[in-house]
Amino acid sequence: MKKLSIIIPCYNEEKTVSTALDMVLNAPLSVKKEIVIVNDGSTDNSADEIRNWIELHRKDCEIKYFEKENGGKGSAVRMGIENSTGDIVIIQDADCEYDPCDYEKCIQPILRGETQVVYGSRERNIRNRTKSSWFFYLGGLSVSLLFNLLYGTSLSDEPTCYKTFDGDLIRSIKFKNNKFGWEPEVTAKLLRMGFEITEVPVSYYPRKVDEGKKIRLKDGFEALWLTFLYRFSIPSCTVAGEKNIKIAADAKRFSISIFLIFVIACLLRILLALPFGGITENWLIRPDSLSYCYDAAGFDWGFRAPLPCMLYWILKQITPYAFAVYSLVGILLSSLIVFPVAYLGKLLSKRNGGGIFAALLWCCNVTAIGHAPLILSDTLFSFFVAWQVFCIVRAYETKRLIDFAYGLGFGTLAALSRGVNLPWILAVAPILALFIVRPKWKCILALIANFILVLTLLFPFMKYNYDRYGVWSLEYNAYNASVHNCSAVIAHAEKRNSNDVLAELQSKMPKNYVKDSIKYNKELFSSVIKKYPASFIITHLPQWQIMLPDVPAVSENMGLSTSGRGTLGILRKDGIIAAVKHYFADGGAWLILVLSPLLAFNALGYIGCLIFLIHAVINFKNRWMYIILWGALSFYYVFLPGPVVMPRYHLPALVFAFAAAAWTFVRGTTAHKEN
């Protein structure tokens, strides 16, 4: 029969320790009990209370008792664990704040083989929130939030006492902290070694400081520091137990693989951004680049979304080589996107291999490679959207409000990078909340949080543009750019080259006043819809050309060609073959052959995503939510651009697409073997 070891550290708990031990002894349990009591140098009558209780109940249960000099809770827990023999180990305080009747809930996931670690969460039991002190509640919430941000978890209550472990696993984990810091240390080490933590709701009856509660503010700060420290330290623990060893080994291989893919992504982006003819001043500048740089183009901060402009401004204050550093930041961010893509691929496929495959797809994507070093906002925008997508999908998988809240936060940062994400924040996210967040009161909380984020972070920038230019927008460039859409509509209706039409329309645009320019664009947009309604609808349907790999971006980075050749107009009017011939008329077409392995690999991503969607439609009853997620998180970035088909606009859509492809080629190809 399986055995549960209950570790009870005790320090000056003479008023409660006997009651706590009675509760432990009488708790209903489907396994044998081993009670391990460690008196951590108590100076009151706790030792006598414990000895008297043991004398009365020695025959009722297997009991071990140890006394030691005072060293802190961590040292007492460590001694108890080292002397335990149970198949499962749980920690129990001697203060009656937790109810041992919850043991069965904590051990069942381990007994069923679903996980190796279970935490009893006070926050997943709503009744506890009316009992907790706000001081301690906010402290525990802060530690849990930091864990979630740094470790990619969804923990609601990391500092809980009811930490439950596979016995072989916890006895093999060497933790050093002697005080309350042992908890974040153990949690961090377990997560770093690849062990997932399952949470179950437990009851909680907190006491106050004057009633004997011992944790203090300094312990909270120590927990925050250790959470950060162990995220970036090298885990040195080895584990015992065949299953534990396999989990840790798989997690280590996954981490090393993703890090190597990150390094490869950096090298690819650097190597394919080095021009053959030598670096020049305008090396990575494109027609839109200077609008992000206030000193180079008479910058008005309302023209573009604020975050990329602020990034350039900060770099300008630090170094005279702001352009070069901005490019390096872009390369780093583009490479870092392999991590959320990997986590999403792993989440969808339930396989480490799925995460690795998805990360490789992003690493080798030609469009991402070409735009990483450019002085534009697309890479910064895609970075935040990647985390937004991962958090939203994880919220669907976990049904936890905290994951959805993270998705809203990253979505807000994405909107600050490109205003195109604002409709997602204001409209799409609330609709998703109705499907994802349960129960309904949590959905309401999510929508309130969404509103507060918009109000505090986005509204000031929108108000600025309204006061100055009469438009409620994060960037009035969205209105200024409508002339591009109108040129595509007119070109389609009149069978003309869109570049010629664009030149005509721009020649009529007021140059001196922003408000006049915005007014001109609004009137032009309205008149074009009235004059060419059919062409407007046709050109605003999803454009397949947006999914084309951006080989020209790589070519221009390497100095093999230049932008501004009017290729987009040729593409719209005469098709892709004519556009390729036009663009490479002066040579350099050999680059397509050089990049062909990357292009072929990326084609697998598109094919895999298509198969995933077909599978979701066929199995609509069980996978309908993924179709909604695809539409909300991915199609949004393909549909929205309208007739202006720039391949870089679809970069955020690739995050979900590549994760879906990972499911197809990893989970889809192995599912039949498992059956």
Distance separating alpha carbons of residues 616 and 386, to the nearest angstrom? 22
Residue 89, pLDDT score: 96
Q: Is residue 340 part of a domain?
A: no
**Is 172 inside a domain boundary?**
yes
Looking at residue 226, its pLDDT comes to 83
Q: Is 562 exposed, middle or buried (0-12, 13-18, 19+ CB in 10 A)?
A: exposed
Taking 60 as the threshold, does the pLDDT of residue 209 lie above it? no
Residue 33 confidence (pLDDT) above 60: yes
On whether residue 503 sits in a domain, the answer given is yes
For the chain, the first-to-last Cα distance in angstroms comes to: 31
Least confident of 352-361, 365-374, 439-448: 439-448
Pairing relationship of beta strands 88-91 and 3-10 according to DSSP bridges: parallel
Q: Is residue 493 part of a domain?
A: yes
User: How large is the average pLDDT for residues 363-369?
Assistant: 95
Last residue within a domain, chosen from 211, 240, 269: 240
**Percentage of the residues of the chain whose pLDDT score is greater than 70:** 91
What tokens were used for 297?
A: 């183009």
Residue 199, classed as helix, strand or coil, is strand
Torsion on CA atoms 515, 519, 522, 524, rounded to nearest 10? -130
For residue 215, name the pLDDT band (cuts at 50, 70, 90).
Answer: low
Same domain, yes or no, for 38 and 98?
A: yes
Span 335-360, average pLDDT: 94
Q: Give the pLDDT band of residue 672 (cuts 50, 70, 90).
A: very low
Question: Distances from the Cα of 357 to the Cαs of 247, 344, 529, 605, in angstroms?
Answer: 19, 11, 44, 9
CA dihedral (453, 457, 459, 462) positive or negative: negative
Residue 673: its pLDDT value, please?
43
Q: Give the span between the Cα atoms of 429 and 407, in whole angstroms.
A: 9
At 108, which CATH number?
3.90.550.10
> In this structure, what token pair is assigned to residue 500?
């010629």
Residue 297 has a pLDDT of 45
Give the SS3 label for residue 402: helix
Last residue of a domain, one of 585, 604, 636: 585
Higher-confidence position of 321 and 562: 321
pLDDT in tens, 138-162: 777 788 888 888 888 888 888 899 9
Question: Is 354 contained in some domain?
Answer: no
Note whether residue 46 is domain-resident.
Answer: yes
Structure letter (DSSP) for residue 655: H
Please indicate, yes or no, if residue 636 is contained in any of the structural domains.
no
Give a yes or no: residue 439 inside a domain.
Answer: yes
Tell me which of 145 and 111 has the higher pLDDT. Answer: 111
167 and 51 share a domain?
Answer: yes
Per-residue H/E/C for 46-77: HHHHHHHHHHHHCCCCEEEEEEECCCCHHHHH
Q: Tens digits of per-residue pLDDT, 406-459?
A: 888 899 999 999 888 888 888 888 888 888 877 777 778 778 877 888 888 888
Asked if 178 and 30 sit in the same domain, the reply is yes
- How many angstroms separate the CA atoms of 607 and 658, rounded? 10
Per-residue b/e over 248-279, b at no fewer than 16 CB within 10 Å? beebeebbebbeebbebbbebbbebbeeeeee
Nearest to 448 by CA among 389, 401, 398: 401
Determine how many CB atoms are found less than 10 A away from the CB of residue 390. 27
Do 499 and 460 lie in one domain? The reply is: no
Q: In which region does residue 638 sit, left (phi positive, over 0), alpha (psi from -120 to 50) or beta (all else)?
A: alpha
Residue that the structure tokens 């098709």 belong to: 575
- Give residue 111's pLDDT: 94
Residues 54, 178 within the same domain: yes
Provide mean pLDDT across the span 633-661: 82
Instruction: Verify that 427 and 536 share a domain, yes or no.
Output: no
pLDDT at 278: 63
Q: What percent of the chain has pLDDT over 90?
A: 35
> Which pLDDT belongs to residue 590?
83
Least confident of 84-98, 306-320, 561-575: 561-575
pLDDT exceeds cutoff 50 at 626: yes
- Host domain of residue 404: 378-417+419-469
Give me the amino acid identity at 323.
F
> Do 498 and 400 belong together in one domain?
no
Q: Are residues 440 and 534 in the same domain?
A: no
Note whether 258 and 358 are within 8 A (CB). no
Q: Is the pLDDT of residue 674 over 50?
A: no
Last residue of a domain, one of 240, 265, 292: 240
User: Is the Cα torsion angle 644, 645, 651, 653 positive or negative in sign?
Assistant: positive
Q: Hey, which residues does 199 pair with through a beta bridge?
A: 119
96 in the same domain as 43: yes
Same domain, 554 and 432: no
Q: Does 546 score more than 80 pLDDT?
A: no
What is the rounded CA–CA span in Å between residue 117 and residue 138? Answer: 24
- Count: domains in the chain: 3
Cβ atoms of 247 and 116 closer than 8 Å: yes
Q: Which residue has the higher pLDDT, 241 or 7?
A: 7
C-alpha distance from residue 648 to each of 143, 572, 644 (Å): 38, 17, 11
Check whether residue 14 and residue 93 sit in a common domain. yes
Same domain? For 424 and 484 the reply is: no
Quick one: pLDDT at residue 591? 86
Per-residue pLDDT averaged across 644-664, rounded?
88
Assigned token pair, 540: 């605003």
